[in-house]
A and B are shown apart, each in its own frame.
Chain A
């Protein structure tokens, strides 16, 4: 037993199922999620009150995204050309390490000490706060939800509402403990406390970091939506703005943004439009009074081109990050975002994370779904999430020596034993004589059904076969000819 890989690691002990088990036992957490998700579902339903309009818009959104992806390399080049023309410096990063190195080099070039950040899931992929902190650079989240989770040394539990796992009382205690303010559960007051703390930081920061919702190739425009104004502050007040985004966020032109923006804001929070829609087209010009002196864009791959390479999996990159799939997911609602253990939780997390970290690092992701289809039904760009989950299950059981691997870490659930079971199942269901014999014994020996059938009887009483199968009843009822006995 000298082989170190055989020793169970922390990761194995704290896997998806263990975290799910813990979350399911946390009544407060489950109430917080259920209440929040119910409210979000209602808001979305209200925002899309006309079902025909909604379905036509979703179909359009799907087409716009599919077209953008169909010419992704070309659009990225056009984006770079037009951004450069606008005075934005474009950087390319294949991995998160490369992306962090780029950000660090910009920070060092300006001898920056403080960074203020608008909400960005790509910066979460990069673990930017952590990386910068290790270099002695303060990186403060300015989105209220992100600020709350940062204050509590947590990670976001939702891509749109990072602190949705906490209720007002929990935020009140956190602010009281960490900021030393008087305890109040009044949401407006809590927000005021947060805003006052952050306000000063916008002016002190040397660099502002943001994400991007849509990168428009034709005009070289970075579009950023938000509701708190922190995105605008982060991208206009500090002298340097660094935007980080995934390579799939590019769209062809401004007209494409119109349906996508409407789909995004209505699907996410049920809003007709967000309070702020920022369109960033370069640094401050000579005659302009405000805006950053320098704007950088870091385009991150981080496994996206692996998804891009496969026609079916490519649809994963349609995502516009609205979070509707998690709001409507019966699994996410019950286990919460942290159970997924990675940056992107919920249905979209289950299909995108394997490309970022390798399927073997998230082996339970594809199977943690009843394939109920709620996610696919609400996805504003019609990503067939259940079909992709099924496809990932297929990749996940492939033999390790598969000559044409599709994705990193595939085959992590390969089990010769399970494969043999399904071969047996196939034999049973393709041989009528065998099936008939099996059902004869299953019905006649029904009294012998064990009362403990592994995980099934954890939640159910043991199922007992009927006394006679439908095959027998139909044969008797319809007669031999109608019953079409072979």
Chain B
């Protein structure tokens, strides 16, 4: 038996492959960036988008906000309407033609552009090159502030306990939870408290929340309970889809606790006036 075992033909798949390299960041801050505001921020949390612009400007970066932008296409994509998603994505592509970084104040939308746009255009070689270049220069806001701007935040607010909620796709595709934690840790008067089952989904999932309202409702109920039980004075998140879900549920439950976008929280804590 052992003879059989060791004389097996050599094969490329016998050895564990090396781990993927972590993302490399530019060594210098760019002079100019694009901001992709996302559809949810545009209509429901516009001040978060504006605070993201202000944070970037404070770093000495010029911000361009193409007015033709709308949605990254994720709602249709995750619902299986791939063609509709592709055409909406195509409309965004044209707006970000310059070689500037694209900063997105939402981990899940950033992940859509960075990881799923190349999938959407895999059968269109000419567009694909453009899409891959865009994916390469797409950053979630917290990631950009931390790793490209290398911000140093100076806390000017009173002592506060906050809970950080990270969208699942942002966590798994963009490591947004790590970036959020690192930025909050720079704020001397902010204590980040853990909440029960922190890494678990809040139940939003885009159209899942309306297709499966019972299950989604059970999930957001558990999430809001965990957030309330954490002792946090407020909730911070880098994703407005989750915030709409969590805040909407907290409001329905007549709770005072609310979630705020990380951009607005950082801007206000560091002396900015919204």
Binding site for B on A (CB under 8 A): 17, 20-21, 24, 52, 55-57, 59-60, 63-64, 66-67, 218-219, 253-255, 259, 330-331, 334-335, 364, 366-374, 376-377, 390-397, 419, 422-423, 425-426, 428-430, 432, 435-436, 439, 442-443, 454-466, 468-475, 477-478, 482-486
Contact of A21 among B18, B172, B214 (CB under 8 A): B214
Task: Return B49 CB to nearest CB of chain A, in Å.
Answer: 4
A-B contact pairs, 7 of them (CB 8 A): A60-B17, A63-B13, A422-B79, A425-B76, A454-B210, A459-B217, A483-B67
Kindly report which residue of chain A lies nearest to residue B217, judged by CB atoms.
A459
Q: Which residues of B contact A474 (CB under 8 A)?
A: 35, 37, 49-50, 53, 65, 67
Task: Return A444 CB to nearest CB of chain B, in Å.
Answer: 12
Kindly report which residue of chain A lies nearest to residue B91, judged by CB atoms.
A430
18 new A-B contacts at CB < 8 Å, known A454-B210, A470-B46: A56-B18, A67-B11, A253-B4, A366-B80, A367-B211, A372-B169, A390-B80, A394-B80, A395-B80, A397-B80, A430-B90, A459-B248, A460-B220, A460-B248, A463-B44, A470-B49, A473-B49, A474-B67
Kindly report which residue of chain A lies nearest to residue B54, judged by CB atoms.
A477
Any A CB within 8 A of the CB of B88: yes
Contact of B43 among A369, A393, A469 (CB under 8 A): A469
Give CA–CA (A472, B37) in the complex, Å.
Answer: 12
Any A CB within 8 A of the CB of B121: no
Main secondary structure of the interface of B (DSSP, over half): helix
Give CA–CA (A219, B37) in the complex, Å.
Answer: 59
With A17-B212, A330-B201, A330-B219 in contact, do A461 and B50 touch (Cβ < 8 Å)? no
Evaluate contact between A422 and B65: CB separation under 8 angstroms: no
Any A CB within 8 A of the CB of B26: no
Contact of B81 among A259, A373, A397 (CB under 8 A): A397
Evaluate contact between A394 and B70: CB separation under 8 angstroms: no
Q: Which residues of A contact B219 (CB under 8 A)?
A: 330-331, 334, 370
- Which 7 pairs between the two chains have the least Cβ-Cβ distance? A370-B205, A460-B248, A393-B80, A372-B201, A372-B168, A56-B16, A459-B217
Q: Which residues of A contact B68 (CB under 8 A)?
A: 432, 486
Any A CB within 8 A of the CB of B66: yes
Any A CB within 8 A of the CB of B139: no
Evaluate contact between B210 and A20: CB separation under 8 angstroms: no
Evaluate contact between B201 and A469: CB separation under 8 angstroms: no
Q: Which residues of B contact A373 (CB under 8 A)?
A: 168-169, 171-173
Give CA–CA (A373, B166) in the complex, Å.
Answer: 13
Evaluate contact between B80 and A20: CB separation under 8 angstroms: no
Contact of B252 among A21, A392, A459, A478 (CB under 8 A): A459
Q: Which residues of A contact B17 (CB under 8 A)?
A: 56, 59-60, 63
Q: Which residues of B contact A475 (CB under 8 A)?
A: 65, 67
Kindly report which residue of chain A lies nearest to residue B80, judged by CB atoms.
A393
Q: Which of B193-241 contact A (CB under 8 A)?
A: 199-201, 203-221
Q: Which residues of A contact B191 (CB under 8 A)?
A: none
- Please count how many residues in chain B sit with their CB below 8 Å of the partner chain's CB atoms: 82
Q: Which residues of A contact B5 (CB under 8 A)?
A: 254-255
Any A CB within 8 A of the CB of B99: no
Evaluate contact between A461 and B13: CB separation under 8 angstroms: no
Residue among A219, A254, A436, A474 with the highest chain B CB neighbour number at 10 A = A474
Kindly report which residue of chain A lies nearest to residue B202, judged by CB atoms.
A370
Any A CB within 8 A of the CB of B136: no
Q: Which residues of A contact B24 (CB under 8 A)?
A: none
With A442-B43, A465-B43, A478-B63 in contact, do A426 and B244 touch (Cβ < 8 Å)? no
Any A CB within 8 A of the CB of B148: no
Kindly report which residue of chain A lies nearest to residue B90, judged by CB atoms.
A430
Give CA–CA (A471, B35) in the complex, Å.
Answer: 11
Kindly report which residue of chain A lies nearest to residue B38, judged by CB atoms.
A470
Evaluate contact between A463 and B46: CB separation under 8 angstroms: no
Evaluate contact between B8 and A255: CB separation under 8 angstroms: yes
Contact of B64 among A64, A456, A482 (CB under 8 A): A482
Task: Return A74 CB to nearest CB of chain B, in Å.
Answer: 14
Give CA–CA (A148, B84) in the complex, Å.
Answer: 49
Q: Which residues of A contact B103 (CB under 8 A)?
A: none
Q: Which residues of A contact B42 (CB under 8 A)?
A: 439, 469-471
Residue among B200, B221, B249 with the highest chain A CB neighbour number at 10 A = B200
Any A CB within 8 A of the CB of B251: yes
Contact of A428 among B11, B41, B70, B81 (CB under 8 A): B70
Q: Which residues of B contact A391 (CB under 8 A)?
A: 80
Contact of A484 among B67, B91, B210 (CB under 8 A): B67
Kindly report which residue of chain A lies nearest to residue B244, judged by CB atoms.
A463
Any A CB within 8 A of the CB of B256: no
Task: Return B199 CB to nearest CB of chain A, in Å.
Answer: 8
Task: Return B113 CB to nearest CB of chain A, in Å.
Answer: 14
Kindly report which residue of chain A lies nearest to residue B32, judged by CB atoms.
A482
Q: Which residues of A contact B64 (CB under 8 A)?
A: 478, 482-484
Q: Which residues of B contact A372 (CB under 8 A)?
A: 168-169, 200-201, 205
